[in-house]
Amino acid sequence: MSATGIGAPVRRKEDYRFITGKGQYTDDLTRPGQTYITFVRSPHAHARIRRIDASAAKGMPGVVAVLTGADLAADKVGSLICGWAITSKDGSPMKMAPHPAIANTKANHVGDPVAVVVAETQAQAKDAAEKVVVDYEVLPAVVDPAKAQAKSAPQIHEVAPGNTIYEWHLGDQKAVEAAFKGAKHVTRLDIVNNRLVPNAMEPRAAIAEYDAGNDSLTLWNTTQNPHVARLVISAFVGIAPEHKLRVIAPDVGGGFGSKIFIYPEEVVCLWAARKVNRPVKWVSERTEAFVADAHGRDHVTHAEMAFDGEGKILALRAKTIANLGAYMSTFSSSVPTYLYATLLSGQYEIPQIYCEVDAVYTNTVPVDAYRGAGRPEATFVVERLVEVGAREMQIDPADLRRRNFVKKFPHQTPVIMAYDAGDYNASLKKAMELADVKGFAKRKRESARAGKLRGLGYSTYIEACGIAPSQAVGSLGAGVGLWESAEVRVNPTGSVEVLTGCHQHGQGHETTFAQVVSDRLGIPIENVSVVHGDTDKVQFGMGTYGSRSGAVGISAIVKALDKVEAKAKKVASHLLEAAEADIVFENGQFKVAGTDKVAAFGDVALNAYIAHKFSGQELEPGLKEGSFYDPTNFTFPAGCHICEVEVDTETGQVEVVAWTAVDDFGKVINPMIVEGQVHGGIAQGVGQALLENTTYDTDGQLVTGSYMDYTMPRADNLPSFRVETTETLAPSNPLGIKGCGEAGAIASPAAVINAITDALGTEEIAMPATPAAVWAALQKVNQSRKAAE
């Protein structure tokens, strides 16, 4: 391993500009003649818009335009879409309601845009927005997914009777029922997977600029996938043809999924920029982000697991109601279906699985993919069932897991996925050693002496990354292919630009992608730059989400590097006057096998461009190769997280006192970056388990709409993590990469709740396990103990 090659903990190249304040985020950009836009948003969860009086606002200083949903409709701007078609069990298509970028006749959630003001300054736009008078007819609202399908619930969209988007299922219901009949033990759980607000550090932003001379538009946008944004905005919303729209995603400060989606705001900026013929800028405020960015999770589930007399799992069944909010966001339909039910087999050999999912509209902010997207929900269901089952059957939870682990690969689950490689016992064993599970009983006694309850919880999770084989996802309803592209441009001086369709917004691609190139071509990492996030530079790409950039994005780069090497060998054969078959490439040098004739990589690059040594008829000059890599399978990162907590019985305060994570991510390019990804994921999962809860009141008002009420995890909520890896290579891609971006957030909520319930001796605790909730659960336990005595 070289100091900058694959496997080296190279410091992140991009951090210099970030930590010295030299990053270029969307808000750092100012275009000549720029105007500012402010969104007037509905304060009501559900209300008919009777009339909008913009006359006073139009007369305010600096106002350029006041635009409404009626103007948008008059200009025939198309609806926003959800790009993954799900079919109900009765064969009917999902009920996708229109989603205008500005509500025209009815507002469907608090925060739904109803008008915009464009003005010379941000302050003027905000002042004028105060003067827009909207006459609302307030309608009853529904926010609870479990109540959305009731006959008495208010109807949100005409196309979706009973607010039901789809009633989907997966698996063999009859076989599952038969398996349950033969069970010795059945574990049953009711689970609420709490709604989360993503909270990326950089709020969303957009600048749109119209070039009247070329009739083209440019959008600078905080997006995780600029090409997908351009495709949707041109092909569905119809703002401009694809070749007349450039989307640039400059530095982006975190996404966690929330910046995948194509939102109303960027569409409105583009439309308004052409209308006023001036650049239009929007930067979300934090309070605005709470009601304008897609939320995550929000499942209500009943789940059951059937065991035989030996603790072997016979079957699993689950019924989930998924809240998709007021509109179907870009990929929302896929999250509670193909990203959720397909992972319900966990790391276990489960012969039969059946899952039903009803997706519903409510008068809340739309819900879509958020770090893990469906897989944290699945892991929570499976890992809670296994843990509770073990306790009920009085089997050690680690032992029960071991008895049921998948041990032979490939393994076809009953829910589509074919696991190709893994060693689940290896990560469990290593994690148990690192966490000193043997010493837990002693630590528990010590805690008890201090008046505290100590608990230990496992989460042996699996996830599907490497999203995704295009044919496979196409057959499941995806509207796009999920391959990735790369282009490797070798300059005449031997430096290299790598163009990728992935987009980095915190992942460190500029370092890891460069490591792969440096390793392969034997050139210094400083001589490699990674270009991404601009539809005029990179031809096409699918962006970054679903922990796909390593497994899919790097694989595309490797394929392009293969082609570069092949072409360079041809150039080298002319330069070294040898047969092409005799040229070997080692340590950055082209050699003629069995001789001492060598040419450095840089010499070959130069000769490829000056083209003096070969005829243009025989060989094209230049050294630039591209690749579209389509994976042949998902990848399956998996591992074991062990959480240890101490509960203060007087206050209900939970302290996470130890955390051990042993993950199998396949080949690791940069262990330091991977560890950072694990840290962040665990912090988010602990946030979900202990702190974060998005609360709507029954009127549909978001009452946890700021950091005064929505609790984000902080350093003092977390211990120092022990993070290690095990390695089985993913057989489906050239380097064997599996992906690491979401694992922490997927594994951790179940580990925390398993630890807390272990400490308390009751399974009745919901996320977030706030001190109040834990204290109440403790009182209940104490009362039933007293009653028993």
Task: By CB under 8 A, name the binding residues for other proteins.
Answer: 40-45, 110, 126, 129-134, 287, 290-291, 697, 699, 701-703, 705-706, 708-709
Closest CB 223 distance from other proteins, rounded Å? 25
**Six token digits for residue 365:** 């902010």
| Strand 63-68, strand 35-41: pairing | unpaired
Closest CB 770 distance from other proteins, rounded Å? 16
**Six token digits for residue 744:** 């922490």
* DSSP assignments along 540-571, one per residue: ----S-TT-IIIIIIHHHHHHHHHHHHHHHHH
Pick the closer one to other proteins by CB: 622 or 771. Answer: 771
- SS3 assignment for 52-80: EECHHHHCCCCEEEEEEHHHHHHCCCCCC
**Six token digits for residue 290:** 């709470």
CB 717 within 8 A of CB 691: yes
Closest CB 366 distance from other proteins, rounded Å? 17
Helix axes 743-760, 375-393, angle to 10 degrees: 30
CA–CA dist 415, 23 (Å, integer): 44
Closest CB 57 distance from other proteins, rounded Å? 10
**Six token digits for residue 649:** 């019985």
CA triple 76-363-84, angle to 5 deg: 60
Closest CB 331 distance from other proteins, rounded Å? 26
- SS3 assignment for 643-665: EEEEEECCCCCEEEEEEEEEEEC
Q: Give Cα separations from 763 to 188, 367, 388, 781 (angstroms).
A: 11, 28, 7, 10
Closest CB 224 distance from other proteins, rounded Å? 26
Q: How many CA atoms lie within 13 A of 769 on its CB side?
A: 33
Omega prior to 468 cis, within 30 of 0: yes
Closest CB 114 distance from other proteins, rounded Å? 11
Closest CB 382 distance from other proteins, rounded Å? 35
What one-character DSSP code corresponds to residue 689?
I
Pick the closer one to other proteins by CB: 699 or 727. Answer: 699
Closest CB 102 distance from other proteins, rounded Å? 15
Closest CB 118 distance from other proteins, rounded Å? 16
Pick the closer one to other proteins by CB: 265 or 356. Answer: 265
Pick the closer one to other proteins by CB: 114 or 431. Answer: 114
Closest CB 704 distance from other proteins, rounded Å? 8
CA–CA dist 281, 66 (Å, integer): 15
User: Which stretch of DSSP H or E encloses residue 492?
Assistant: none
Omega prior to 410 cis, within 30 of 0: yes
Q: Which of 437, 468, 443, 448 is nearest to 543 (CA)?
A: 468
Pick the closer one to other proteins by CB: 620 or 709. Answer: 709
Closest CB 266 distance from other proteins, rounded Å? 21
**Six token digits for residue 142:** 């529904």
Pick the closer one to other proteins by CB: 470 or 711. Answer: 711
Pick the closer one to other proteins by CB: 44 or 559. Answer: 44
CB 324 within 8 A of CB 367: yes
Beta-carbon contacts of residue 148 (< 8 Å; ≥ 6 apart) = 142, 162, 163, 164, 321, 323, 360, 361, 362
CA–CA dist 395, 408 (Å, integer): 24
Closest CB 353 distance from other proteins, rounded Å? 40
**Six token digits for residue 60:** 């305010």
- The rounded radius of gyration (Å) of the Cα atoms in the chain is 28
Q: How many CB atoms lie within 10 A of CB 450?
A: 9
Pick the closer one to other proteins by CB: 138 or 448. Answer: 138
For residue 627, give the 3-state DSSP assignment.
Answer: strand
**Six token digits for residue 300:** 């209500």
For residue 47, give the 3-state DSSP assignment.
Answer: strand
- Alpha helices by DSSP H, 687-770: 743-760
Q: How many CB atoms lie within 10 A of CB 30?
A: 10
User: Which stretch of DSSP H or E encloses residue 722?
Assistant: strand 721-726
Closest CB 504 distance from other proteins, rounded Å? 32
Closest CB 707 distance from other proteins, rounded Å? 10
Pick the closer one to other proteins by CB: 133 or 426. Answer: 133
Indicate the length of the chain as a whole number: 789
Amino acid in the structure at residue 304: E
Closest CB 126 distance from other proteins, rounded Å? 8
CB 166 within 8 A of CB 88: yes
User: Which stretch of DSSP H or E encloses residue 155?
Assistant: none
Q: Give Cα separations from 425 to 97, 408, 458, 466, 667 (angstroms).
A: 46, 12, 13, 23, 18
Closest CB 706 distance from other proteins, rounded Å? 5
Pick the closer one to other proteins by CB: 307 or 696. Answer: 696
CA–CA dist 330, 237 (Å, integer): 12
Closest CB 132 distance from other proteins, rounded Å? 7
Pick the closer one to other proteins by CB: 139 or 730. Answer: 139
Pick the closer one to other proteins by CB: 87 or 701. Answer: 701
User: Which regions of 92-184 does DSSP assign to beta strands (E)?
Assistant: 106-107, 113-119, 133-138, 164-171
